[in-house]
Structures are given as structure tokens and as C-alpha cells.
Amino acid sequence: MAKFIPLGDISSLLQRYASGEIAPTRLVEMIHAEIQNDPNHVWISVLPLESLRYYARQVEVKDMSSLPLYGIPFAIKDNIDLAELPTTAACPAYTYTPTHSAMVVQKLIKAGAIPIGKTNLDQFATGLNGTRSPYGVCRNAFNPDYISGGSSSGSAVAVAKGWVCFSLGTDTAGSGRVPAAFNNLIGYKPTKGWISTRGVVPACRSLDTVSIFAFTAADAARVLMISAGYDTEDIYSRQKEAYGFDFAAASHFRFAIPRKQHLQFFGNQESERLFTEAVRQLETLGGKAIEIDFEPFLEAARLLYEGPRVAERYAAIQSFYESQSDQIVAPVREIIAKAKCYSAADAYKGLYQLRSIKQHADEIWRDADCLVTPTAGTIYPIPAMLKEPIRLNTHLGYYTNFMNLLDYAAIAIPVGFQNDGLPFGITLAAPAHQDEPLLRLAHALQQAYCLPLGATGIAFPINNDFPELPDPNHVRIAVCGAHLSGLPLNEQLTCRQGRLVKSTTTSANYRLYALPGNPPQRPGLIRVDHHEQGVAIKVEVWELPTRELGSFVTGIPAPLSIGTLTLADGEMVKGFLCERYAIGNALDISHFGGWREYLQQIPAH
């Protein structure tokens, strides 16, 4: 059999399929052979070869265009159900064999993805380091002497090694982000409830989120489009809501970072250097760093393990704990045992405290579009973690434990390597439902860094296209006159929660006129025919909540109207156009190139 070539991103594998270089059946045969030797302790169970061939053949009889994940192999954390394979949650005594796959797994298989097997984890998804499993310590893809991160350890390493193109993890306190940072991957934690947790062994059911490991933010977005959706049988499922200002598409955005006294790297100067460089890189993309008080976030993080919230982990496996606690690994058992120290009254007090903390934490969103932190301040060798499993694990959760408690979405992004060759990553976070701007900003940052994929050595594909993620709750409006920033009618946009996305120009087939009439003087933008001479006209593109569009359009006087404009980059947006009859007595000001430039020249005429 030919030598296995580590896999890269989804687009690259689809291109190999389309060219006929390889077929899904041949690929799964090669993957199955490759992963039989697993010194990193990545896999708990793998589908039999005949089962993998069956999945591949089901894909091959269909047209590629009908399956967005045609033949794409993926891995599943072993607290997520896959029919035919046991679910262990990394506890052999807990094992059961599901008759149905988890809802998210069903959706991915229906889209053409092929499950390879179930991956190792910190037992019952309790831990951020990858050492708490009777199936062996899951080792880092770059240096096996170091931790892989957890609890979704195997899911991350399976992708980093190039055995699969993406994988599913879970993220309650950072389990879908810390392993990504330690293995040079994207680790995307969606808004809670966007992806159904039906068929997932709970850790803290009200906080659990199915997460996605991938080589690129674009791939994470592709998997999200297929896996997300409201599930009437999941009591924590949520409908998507409007994400507001698309800061990733804007020429300028604001990102919050912790004040220096709150930045913790636990003695790792390399992490500190790489974080500083990442902040500078975000500034080159148009970001402005704003230092914030990080204490409310740290206070929220402490609630997860240092208060009554830990009782939710006990509730998830109460009957098993009471009957077979001796089958639970010591650090996990020690954490869950704390639950018995708290009462129902303590739980309510904890909820009240969290509400108060969230009010303070959410104040940053008045000044910032997203939050930027290290994903983890440092990484540890395996012996050090085994020697101090609780204290060092707490260090790993310094920047992650608060996310789900505060109902934020987050994405971990690789941003470079320490001098010893180990990866480092940062995390972008924003309030719930702002996932899509986060993913797009992560994509832009990946393009800027152009790092290799995982531990495969494969170069990042510069031209990797980001999938279109339409937002039905917002509409973009191009303005060219008195609605521009700082001009008299701009308030009609800002009072409707409009946000400036970018300043650009139309394509070069428009003309601009100054219409006669009382102040404020209005522009008339006309699209010309192919036989007429046109120019590119400066415009601003604003984003407006769809619910506000009706009242905005109602106030537009004739001869102006809202039509479709083509921008210089080919994007088509709604915008102001003028009926052609009105330009007969109007002044052609196209040669100025824009309304502001015309206004600046008025005193000279």
C-alpha cells in the first residue's frame, strides 16, 4: 500500500477527490493502516475496516456536488455517541454501546463525512491536560514529552497528525481550546446551544458545548454550517440570533486585552513574547487594543471549580459515582467529591453571584468588539503535570474557565512557535451569537500568519476561501452623500444601530450628481450603460439591523431609492440610487470621485 500522506484542510482533500488522485475507500484503508500504531494514545476505539469501507462506498455512489463533506474523515471524542462503537467517557466501567449516533454526528455523516473512530479524553471530560485517562496519557503531536491539552486531547492530536481533516470535541471550561493551542490548530467553541448535545455524555449539562478542531477557521465554519441547528429534543438548544456589528469585515475594530497585572504566563517568557506579537498582528489588521480590568472574568472562572457549580459534574454521573467511584481516576474523583460540600441554597447563591459578575464583565462590550487573550499561559511536560495535577491544571484554565459561564463564543487560533518548537495560540471571544465575525477574524489572522497545518508540515493554503455565512438579521447599505460619517444625515443610520463596515468605491461604471434643492443637498448616483463613461465613486458601507430597514427606507424622498450597487471588489450590496429623470438639472460631479471631495470644493465655485 502507498505511503500515507498526512491530510490537510477540507478543500485540499476535496480537490484530490475531484482530480481522481484518490477515492474515499482507498483513503480510509490508508488511514486505518496508519493509526494501528498509536504511541500518542489518541484512539480509544476505531471502526472496523469493513465499516469504514461501507461509509466510503455510501459516499462514492453519490455526486460530489451533493455532499459538502464528501469523503472527509473526522474523529469523535469518546463522550459523543457513534452507533456501533462503545461510548466510554474514558472510564471502562461506565461503557455503553449506543444504538444511535449523536445528533451532530448524524448531520455530519449525512453531509458525506466519514467517522474514523473515538478519541481519548480526560475522564468524564474533567481536565485540561490529557493525562487523566486509563487509556493512556495522550501525548502532544509536536513533542511527546509534553501534554496534549484536554479534555479533548485525542480529538486534537488526531487532526494535528493529519489522520483526519477535523474532529469533534466538547468544551465546558476550555476543553476545545487548550488542546488546539498545544497542537497548532483551530479550536472553535460555538455559542452554547448552537450545536445539539443530544447523544453527548454531560460534564456540566447547562454549560457543555460541542466544539470543532480543524486546520483552518474556514473549515470550522464549514463544519458549523452543517452541524448547527435547533434541536427540539435538546433542552439547551438555541436558535441563532443576530450577531450585530460585523467587526471582522470592518476596516477598524476594537479588541480588549487584560491589563498587564492580570496577564499570566506562569514564568514562560516565550508565551509572553508570542502574545505581544499577536497583539501587534491584530493591529495591522485594523484592530485597536484596549486594556481592561480582567478581574470579573477571573472571578467568574473561580466559580467553576471553587464553588457549588462543581455539583453539576456530580449530577451528570451521580448514580455511577455512588456505586463505582473507585473506577474514577483520582484527580477527577477528587474534583467531583467537592460537590457534597454544597447545599441547594449554596447553588442559588452561586447563581446570583454569577449574574452579578456577568453584569460587570459585559461592560467591556461597550468599548470593545472582541476579547483577546492567550489560550493558555504556558504548557507543561507530562511528568510535571502528573506530579501536580490540580494546581497546574488550574493554570491551564486561567483564560478559559469563564467563557461558558458568561455565555461567550470563542475560537483558539495558532499564532506561532516557542523557541523549543512547541506551538502557542491566542483566543478571540465575543458575546453569544457573534460566532461568525469571530470566525472571519480568525481566518484573516491565519492568512496573515500563514503557519503550517497542525504538526503535518503542510503549508497553510493562502487562497483558502472562507465560506459565505449569510446573516438574515442584517443588511448592508452603501451610502454616498449626506449619510456619510460626520455628515448631517448620518444620524439616521447610527440611531438605528447602524455600524460602519468599510470605506470603499463602487465599480467603475457609475456617475455622481449634485441634485438641486434645499439643504442638506443630496447626491444622485446613477449606474451608466456600457457605452457611457463611468467612474468609481467613493462610498461607505454600513450594516443595519434588518428590522430597522423599513423605517429607514420610508424616509427616503424621491427621486432617490434603494437599489443594488456593485462595489469595486465585485460585492453587491443595497445602496442609494437615483432615478435617471432627475439628473437633467443636476450638476455632474463625478470627476470629484466622491461627495466629500465635492463639498470641499463648493466655496471655490
The catalytic residues are 77, 151, 175
Query: Any residues with CB less than 8 A from the CB of 41 and at least 6 apart, and which?
Result: 120, 133, 135, 136, 137, 138, 139, 154
- Beta strand segments in 25-176, E: 43-46, 73-77, 114-119, 166-170
Cβ within 8 Å of residue 121, ≥6 positions away: 77, 78, 79, 89, 90, 130, 133, 138, 150, 151, 152, 153, 154, 155, 175
Task: Output DSSP code: residue 338.
Answer: G
**Three-state DSSP state, 598:** helix
Q: 381: cis peptide before it, omega within 30°?
A: no
Q: Which stretches of 263-375 are assigned E, i.e. beta strand?
A: 287-292, 370-374
Residues 6+ apart with CB under 8 A from 61: none
DSSP label of 262 = G
Greatest distance between any 2 Cα atoms in the chain? 90
Sign of CA dihedral 484, 485, 486, 490: positive
Question: Which helix or strand (DSSP H or E) is residue 222 part of?
Answer: helix 217-227
Give the integer Cα–Cα distance in Å for 364 and 487: 28
Nearest to 285 by CA among 310, 312, 254: 254
Phi first, then psi: give them for residue 271, nearest 5 degrees.
Answer: -60, -40
Judge whether 588 and 513 are in contact, CB under 8 Å.
Answer: yes
In sequence order, which residues have a C-beta less than 8 Å from that of residue 212 and are 6 or more positions away? 166, 167, 168, 169, 176, 186, 187, 188, 190, 220, 223, 224, 227
Cα–chain-centroid distance for residue 93? 34
Best CA proximity match to 435, nearest among 405, 466, 469: 469
